[in-house]
Amino acid sequence: MSQTVWIARHGNRQDFVDSSWHRTAERPFDPGLSPDGILQAKQLGERLKAEKIAYIFASPFLRAVETAHYVADALDLSIKVESGLSEFLNPNWFFSTPEQLALDSLAQIFPEVDRGYNSRAIAQYPETEQTAFLRAGKVARQLADEFSQNLLLVGHGASVLGAVRGLLNQPIHVSCPLCGLFKLVRQEGEWLMELSGDVSHLSKTEQNIRYI
């Protein structure tokens, strides 16, 4: 029996369309989706409706949970917030661990959030890029083994790439566009990638991919 793991990067961010957003933001390193990012997330949900996904896992950053929210709404599923899929906690980007909403606060905004789920891995600040890749790859393998049905993982450029590398067990380089979709299928213990950064479901895509 085969298993499919879908992996998606979050949709476009508030601070990507409004460079001044962070100046007045309560959590300047945790932007939500921009209006076009919301549309991307909804289109991702429509794309995945027929794919028999059983579980959705998302990074705890707002943009990832919000992206997962629109997919979960389309698929009528819950969201398991997984720290192992977090943003790359790069000390050149952040002065300390970036502030995020607590799980209960996320659940108040997004009712699909599973309050009873505990992350299988915890992202630790500061980390190197390689550490971020390994962290995401390890948790992707663990989730695929623990939850044997079809999964969707929603993360960031680095954690998406890390998850792909972790499942394939190869240090490949792939582009990770916003709301781009990866499809990995396991058959007889071997993972094969059938889609890489697919954006055919999106009506609008970014001109310059910001990670890889």
CATH of domain 3-198: 3.40.50.1240
Q: What pLDDT does residue 211 have?
A: 64
Phi–psi pair at 169, nearest 5 degrees: 60, 40
Is the distance from CB of 121 to CB of 59 less than 8 angstroms? no
Going by C-alpha positions, the residue among 121, 129, 141 that lies closest to residue 89 is 129
| Average pLDDT over all residues of the chain | 95
- Look at residue 133 and give its three-state secondary structure: helix
Matching residue, tokens 């001044």: 20
User: What value does the mean pLDDT take over residues 144-171?
Assistant: 97
Query: pLDDT tens digit string along 77-129?
Result: 999 999 999 999 999 999 999 999 999 999 999 999 999 999 999 999 999 99
Give residue for tokens 């939500």.
32
For residue range 67-79, what is the model confidence (pLDDT) as tens digits? 999 999 999 999 9
Given this model, what pLDDT does residue 175 score?
Answer: 93
- Sort 162 into a burial class: Cβ within 10 Å, 0-12 / 13-18 / 19+: buried
pLDDT band at 209 (very low <50, low <70, confident <90, very high): confident
Residue 202 has phi, psi (to 5 degrees) of -95, 140
Q: Is residue 198 over pLDDT 60?
A: yes
Q: In the prediction, which pLDDT does 210 show?
A: 72
Are 199 and 205 within 8 A, CB to CB? Answer: yes
Determine the average pLDDT of the residues in 170-187: 95
φ/ψ of 131, rounded to 5, equals -65, -40
pLDDT (mean) for 140-153:
98
Tell me: pLDDT of 207 over 80: no
Q: Are strands 55-58 and 151-155 parallel, antiparallel or unpaired?
A: parallel
Q: Does pLDDT of 206 surpass 80?
A: no
Contact predicate 60/32, CB 8 Å: no
Beta strands in 32-150 (DSSP E): 55-58, 79-81
- DSSP-assigned letter for residue 7: E
Question: Predicted confidence band at 188 (pLDDT cuts at 50, 70, 90)?
Answer: confident
The pLDDT score that the predictor gives to residue 212 is 53
15-50 tens-digit pLDDT: 998 989 888 889 999 999 999 999 999 999 999 999
Q: What percent of the chain has pLDDT over 90?
A: 89
Q: Measuring CA to CA, which residue among 134, 123, 149, 150 is closest to residue 61?
A: 123
Task: List the domain boundaries for the chain.
Answer: 3-198
Q: Are 119 and 142 in contact (CB under 8 A)?
A: no
Cα first-last separation, the chain? 33
Tokens 């972790």 — which residue? 166
Specify the pLDDT at position 22: 86
